Structure formats: C-alpha cells, structure tokens
Amino acid sequence: MTEQPDSQHILIVGGGMTGGLLAVLLAEQGLTVTVLDGAPAPALPQGKAQLRVSTLTEASHWLLRNTGVWDYLDASRVQPYSAMQVWDQDGTGEVLFQAEDVGAESLGWLLENGHLAAALYQKAATLPTLDWQCGVQVDALRRDADTGQWAVRSGDTLWQADLLVGADGARSQVREQAGISGGPRDSGHHALVATIATEQAHGACARQVFMESGPLALLPLFSDAEQGDQRQCSIVWSGWPERIAELREKDAVSFAAELQAAVGDALGPVTLLSERAVFPIQERHASQYVAAGLALVGDAAHVIHPLAGQGVNLGLLDAAVLAEEIARASEQGRGCADPAALARYQRRRRGENLLMQNAMRGFQSLFEQRAMPVRWLRNTGMRWVNQAGPVKGFFARQAMGRTTDLPARAKPPAFGARAGSR
C-alpha cells in the first residue's frame, strides 16, 4: 500500500463547487491541502448551455473575485441579472426587485455548475500546496484515536490528515461513516430542469411564478449565437411528482405550450432546446457540522428546496467561514483541526442555514394553500412588499447575500480589509 506523507494536513473529499473553493481558500493561506474527487477533471464548457446552473449572490461573487477564481471564468457564459420578478399565478400579487433600488448593478449572476467547477480547478493548479486528485473513489476512512489523524483509503493508496472535510454532496460518505445523521426529508416535490429559447429577450430579469402545483423559475442565460441576444433561459419547474412526470412525457410542442401558459406572454412563444431532466427534491440537515478533526460543508451538511436558488451560495459561505476560522487558529498556533475553531464554524453557519431551510419550507407551504383567506392575504402581502421600499430593499439584500456575519473574503476588498483588521 502506498502511504502519502502525513504533512498533508487537510484532506477534502469532494471537489465540486464548495469543496473546490474551500481548497483554494486554504491553499492561499499556505496550508497543505489534498482534494480527493471521484469525478474526472472538469473542463470549461463550450457550445450549448449545460442543464445544471446556479444563481450566485453578491457575496459569492466577491468570494470568487477576491480569490481570483472569477478570472478563470469565460465572461461570455456568465449572465448577470439586474431584476427579479416574482408573482402568484392565482391572484394579483407581484413583487419586482431591481438592482438600482439597492444601489447595485446586479442582483446576482447565472452560470453553469460545470463552468464554476472548471474555473476552480484551473485556479487550484496555480497553488503549490494544493494537490487535486481526480477520479479517486474513497473506499474507507477512519480516525486514529491515538494520533487524532484521519486515514482515508482508495485502493492501495492511503492518505492521512489532521483535518478531514466532507464536501462530497447530499449522500456524503464522510458524513455517514462519521456517524452523523442527516435526513433525508421528502419535500413532496420533484423538479424538472431544461433550457429554453424565448422569442423576446429576457432583459437580464429572473422570473418566478408560484402556482398551485409548485413554483416555476425562469433564469436568464448567456446569449447564444444561434438563438440571438438574451434569448436563452434555464427553467426549474418544481411540483408534485405526478405533475412533473406528466410534463416530462409531453412532446416538445405541448410542453412549450404548457410552459407559456404558466408564465404568460411577456417573453413570447418559447421553444424547448434541451432534454428534460427530473430529480426528487429531498431536504437534509446534518445534526452537527463538526466532529473531532472533521467538518462538513455544502450539501454534505445541508440541502434546501431550490425555489430561491440559495443552495450553492450557502455552501460557498460554509467554505469561506471554515477557511476563516482555520486561518485564525493556524495564526495562533492551534492547528487546522482546533476544536474551538471548528465549533465557531458550526455556530456561525448551522443556525443561518437552518433559518434559510425553514424559510423555504414556509414559502412552499404558503403558496400551496388554496383557502381563499390565505390567497387574499398572500396577494395583499406581495402587493404591499412591492410598494414598501424599505421592506422590498431588505428582502433584496437578503437574496443578494448581504447578511450580518459575512466572512471577510465575501465582501468588497475595502470592507474585507477592515473586517480582517479588527
């Protein structure tokens, strides 16, 4: 068996968006990091848009800019959006959020998951203390009670580390083998994702309509030479499994007609450009994010309903906060697996993630109610929020990731410098 030197202090299982960002943040501090990723090396996408896309908040945007990862993105495949329209199909309630209302140029950015993963991988290649291993399947892991180190085995190779991080997704092997419970909870919804073309330009506006069967989001994508300027959108249609299965089985023309009936005529006729992928929506929340010499980040720790598009952003903030706490501990000579640092990470992130998860459950429940009094209150509330500038601004800032406990790297450089100097 080949044994890797125990100077590999931090071992991250999972090289997706959250694990990749954590690796970059830690290696930038000069810490020795190994990433074990089961997938092949990611490459920048070309041609048609990938099905899986994410909405990045302002906080996530600054994380990527401050680490230099943003420089590795193909700017032509990143779509900023400056407005977000939310409405209730079964009534008159509507809210229109605009970036200018909160003194910003953009409310967020849309890009493909594979695009960000590739940019992180390219950035990682420039960091001398970061070793990113692709195509590695973890067979077993255990903690040595005498040394406190974790040993991770893949085939005949054994890695040892002082800190093991599970960034290996919703079905986290690290979480399960560490004995940490984490769901799942069935939301009762499935989601259908696809790429469409619209006759009218999307105008850099994200749209979401709440219907009796579930929410439908239209997310503006980058311009495509074949479809024209601002004519591509990614859709995420959530709803009861029977309804989603019915939509998946429809022919392309019938599906497009159903879609247009749901969103109205603002974008004109729509055309299906891609296959339709369906997946069940299951929520998870780990009973704890940390154990001795171990931490969970991203989907390994929490999975929420995708209706607000916040899942990836919560994971990126997990990575930034964990890296910040490890940096503080290392600077004070307490090591990367310092129990107090891990406890602070859990305290800063678990409550905030749980709050977001419960808020998404509340939204789902609210818009599923068909009783007339509830529908009237819902629509009245949306109209009131749309007219109440300070309240609408509050919700917009929350959606942009402008929370009170942001890590320094998730802020503009001037703010981050001041935060780090305290």
**pTM reported for the whole predicted model:** 0.91
Give the pLDDT of residue 142.
94
Q: What CA–CA distance (Å, rounded) separates 371 from 381? A: 15
133-160: buried (b, 16+ CB within 10 Å) or exposed (e) per residue? beebebeebebeeeeebbbbebeeeebb
Contacts of 94 (CB under 8 A, 6+ apart): 85, 86, 87, 88, 382, 383, 386
The model's pLDDT over 365-413, given as tens digits with 9 standing for 90+, comes to: 666 666 667 666 776 776 767 777 777 777 777 777 777 689 999 998 8
**Closest listed residue to residue 297, CA positions, set 180, 213, 399, 218:** 180
Contact criterion met (CB below 8 Å) for 254 and 247: no
Domains and CATH numbers, the chain: 2-184+282-421 (3.50.50.60)
Give the pLDDT confidence score for residue 127 in this predicted structure.
98
Query: Looking at residue 285, what is its pLDDT?
Result: 94
pLDDT at 211: 84
C-alpha span between 306 and 190 (Å, rounded): 10
SS (H, E, C) 235-280: EEEEECHHHHHHHHHCCHHHHHHHHHHHHCCCCCCEEECCCCEEEE
- What is the distance between the alpha carbons of residues 93 and 379, in angstroms, rounded to a whole number? 4
Tokens coding 198:
């619209």
Query: Measured between alpha carbons, how far is 134 from 343 in angstroms, rounded to an integer?
Result: 30
**Cα–Cα dist 10/26, whole Å:** 9
Q: What is the pLDDT of residue 61?
A: 97
Q: Quick one: pLDDT at residue 17?
A: 97
Q: Give the CA diameter of the chain.
A: 68
Exposure letters 314-332 (e unless 16+ CB within 10 A, then b):
bbbbbbbbbbbbbbebbee
Q: Show the tokens assigned to 207.
A: 């749209």
Instruction: Using 50 as the pLDDT threshold, list the residues of the chain that sit under it.
Output: 5-8, 416-422
How far apart are the C-alpha atoms of 78 and 339, rounded to whole Å? 39
The letter for the amino acid at 314 is: L
23 in Cβ contact with 161 (< 8 Å)? no
Element spanning 355, H or E: helix 339-368
